[in-house]
A and B are shown apart, each in its own frame.
Chain A
Amino acid sequence: MNNLFEYVPGNSFIHRLNPITKLLLTVVICVAAFVTDRLPVLLGLLAVNLLFGLIAGVAGRTWNILRGLLKIAVFLFLLQALLYRGGNPVFWIITDQGLLTAGKVVLRLVVVCMPLTLALAVTRISDLTNALTQVLHVPYPYAFTLAATIRFIPQFVEEMNGIMEAQTARGIPFDTARGLKKFSMIVPLCAPLLISSVRKTDQTAAAAEVRGFRLRTRDSAYKRYPFSAGDFAVFACCAAILAGAILL
C-alpha cells in the first residue's frame, strides 16, 4: 500500500498519453463497470485493466493491486453467495444466482479499483495537476487539493506504520495480535495520526503560500499538454468500451 500510488518512471505508450486521457479512460472503465450487469462484459473490462498494466510496463504493480484486493474480494464473494436468496440451490444455502451475483460484485470491485491506481502509477502528480488546470480549466486550488490528497496517502500509511512500530516498542502487542483485536488496538492511535496529519497539512499549506500558491493560474506551468494521435485512439477505445457496456 505504501508505494501503491508511487509514480513508476517509463516511456511506454500509456506513459506518453495526456494525463486527461488516462483520467478519462479510468472514468470510462468505472462507469462501464456500473452500467453493465453482464459477467462477460465485466471480464472484458478486467482484461482491459490488465492490458493497461501490461502496456504501461507496470505488471508488478497490477499484480500487487490484485493481491491487495484478494482478501476483501473473497470476503465479499462469500457474503453475497451466502446472503443471496434467489435461484436454484447448488450447495447448502448457496444458489446458482447467488454465485453469479457474488462473481459480478467481486469483478465490479476489482474492475473499479484498478484503473485509477494504474493511471497514477504512470502519471506524475505535477502533470496531472497542470493538465487539469490547463485542459479542463479546473481552478488550481482544487487540482492542488486532489494532488495533495494522492501524495499524502503513502505518507499517512508510513506514519501509521511508524506509530504502530513505536507502540510495539512500548509493549503494545501489534506484533502478535490479528484481525479484530489488532483493529481495536489501532483505533486509539488514530488521535496521534490525526494530529500529525493536521500538522503536516498546515506545514504544506504554509510552504505552498510562501511559494506563491495564490499567484498560480492555468498558464503558470511551463509544460503544455496537447492531445496526440495516441490520445484520440484511446478516446475511440473509450467510446467503444462505453458502447459495449451499454449495448451488450
Chain B
Amino acid sequence: MITLEHVSFSYANGQPSVKDVSFHLPKGEFAAILGPNGAGKTTTVRLVDGLLQPAEGRVMIDGSDLRESRVSDRARKVGFLFQNPDRQICKNTVREEILFGLRTVRPDLSEEALQARAEETLADFSFTGKEEPFSLSRGQRQRVALASILAVEPEVLILDEPTTGLDYRECCHIMDRIRKMNEEKQVTILMVCHDMEVVLDYARQALVMADGRLLACGPIRDIFRDTALMEQASVLPPQMIGLGLRLGGTFLEADTPDAMADALIASLRKGGTEK
C-alpha cells in the first residue's frame, strides 16, 4: 500500500533530512517509525503524504506515484493526524467539524448520507456534536481531529505523534479507535511515536530510523529484542521487553502483551533462569 523507493530529502535550512529510505507496507499493516529526535521520522511521514516532495526516489500509495496527484486530491485516500489538533480544527462545533471534512472530500455523497455518517462518527467517539472544539481538553481536541479524519474512511492513516501530551486514558481512547479501524477496515497505519509502550501495544511492524537513514524494518518484537539496534537508534525498549531481555525468558515469543505478562510471571516464578 505504501512504498518508498530510495527516497532522499533535505531541508534548505539544514533541518533533519532523510537519505535513501526504502520500505514497503502492505494493505492493513500497522507500522510505527521509531528513532531519536532529528532522525527524520516526521519528514518521512510528510513525504508519504506528499506534503514534501522527495529530491530523489519515489513515493507510491496503492501503486500511484505521489508526483502524479496533489495532496488535497489524495485526502479521500490518505488521512493525516497531526501532532497539534488545533491546526486541523476550524469549525465552531464538533458536528460541523466532522461535516466539513466529509463535505470536502466526499462531494459524491448526498446531504442525508453525510449527516448519517457524521451522526455515526459522533456516536462512535461519544460526542453529542454540540461541543465547541476549542473549549475541549487537548486529548478531546485530538479525538475531534481524529474523528473528522476517520469519518472520511481513508485507506491509509498517517499519525504524527498522536499521543503526545495525552494522559493514559485519552491515549488509549485514541489508539483503541485507530486499532479498530485498522482491524475492521484494513486501514494501513503509519505512526510516528515516542512512547514505546504504545508502540508495543498497538503496532505490528517497526521502522527504526537514525540520522535520516532507515536502520531496520521488521516485526515489532524482533526489533525491540535487537539490543544493538536499539542502542544504535538511541531507543529504549518498553520496560516489559527490557525486563524480559534481562531475565532471558522465552516469553518474548508471546503474541499479545497479556500473554507476555503471563509468560513473564511464569519466568519469574522459575527464578528467571530459563533461556
Residues of A that sit less than 8 Å from B by CB: 159, 162-163, 165-176, 188-189, 191-192, 195-196, 199
Contact = CB atoms under 8 A, between A and B. Distances in A.
A91 to B, nearest CB: 41
B78 to A, nearest CB: 8
Contacts of A165: 51, 87
Contacts of B232: none
A163 B87 CA distance: 4
Interface residues of B, number: 26
B90 A192 contact: yes
A163 B80 CA distance: 13
B212 interface: no
Contact of B134 (A166, A172, A175, A195): A195
A173 B89 CA distance: 16
Given A162-B82, A171-B104, A192-B90, 18 more contacts: A162-B84, A163-B87, A166-B80, A166-B82, A168-B72, A169-B71, A169-B79, A170-B80, A170-B88, A170-B104, A170-B105, A171-B75, A171-B105, A172-B104, A173-B72, A175-B71, A176-B72, A195-B134
Contact of B86 (A167, A168, A172, A196): A196
Contact of A169 (B51, B89, B90, B92): B51
Chain A contact residues: helix, strand, loop or mixed: helix
Most B CB atoms within 10 A — which of A169, A173, A192, A195? A169
Contacts of B148: 170
Contacts of A170: 75, 80, 88, 101, 104-105, 148-149
B90 A191 contact: yes
A237 B73 CA distance: 57
17 contacts: A159-B87, A162-B87, A166-B87, A167-B88, A168-B71, A168-B72, A169-B75, A169-B78, A169-B80, A170-B88, A170-B101, A171-B72, A171-B104, A172-B104, A175-B72, A176-B70, A192-B90
- List the 5 closest pairs (A to B, CB-CB), nearest first: A171-B75, A166-B87, A171-B105, A169-B80, A171-B104
A8 to B, nearest CB: 14
A172 B88 CA distance: 11
B49 interface: yes
Contacts of B104: 170-172
Given A167-B88, A170-B88, A170-B149, A175 B101 contact: no
Contacts of B221: none
A158 B71 CA distance: 19
Contacts of A196: 86-87
A86 to B, nearest CB: 48
Contacts of B82: 162, 166, 169
B76 interface: yes
Contacts of A174: 72
Contacts of A189: 90
Contacts of B75: 169-171
A165 B72 CA distance: 10
Most B CB atoms within 10 A — which of A168, A170, A195? A170
B211 to A, nearest CB: 25
B87 A188 contact: no
A159 B148 CA distance: 21
A5 B86 CA distance: 25
A174 B51 CA distance: 12
Contacts of A195: 86, 134
